[in-house]
Amino acid sequence: MAKPSGPGGNGNSRPENRAENDHRDDELERRRQQLEATLATRRQTAREGEKSTGSNGVTGYGQALKLSSEFIAGIAVGVGLGWIIDRLAGTSPWGLIVFLLLGFGAGVLNVLRSAGMVTDAGIRSPDKQSDEPEKK
């Protein structure tokens, strides 16, 4: 077996290969410095964004509590109305079942409205930035 030539054993001991390697090294160094500058800019922007938003954890818990209470309230109102109708009309358990399902739907709708996913007239598409509802 023939041994590779050159000081590093990679066969690149000729002067033109060294110049090519130097050119590649210079290009890689330039790209690395450009990447570091871009990352430093993005890190700075991210730090400024974190400072301006405040405590996201507390507002997240508040939003979760709000959404869950709206969902549970919708179901509770549906069950309550169904139970009352069953008692008055003697149609047990059909009023409870029907109004439980209606309460579930109302709870889901309340959560979607509160989260900003649904407006009064229709579903808001995520790609549109306007506040007008989507028309069908």
Q: Please give the DSSP secondary-structure letter assigned to residue 123.
A: B
pLDDT of residue 92: 86
- The tokens for 10 are 């990679």
pLDDT of residue 70: 93
pLDDT of residue 136: 47
Helix, strand, coil percentages (3-state) for the chain, rounded to 5, are 70, 0, 30
pTM for the full predicted model: 0.49
> Mean pLDDT for each 10-residue chunk of the chain (136 residues)?
53 70 91 94 83 67 92 96 94 93 95 84 61 52
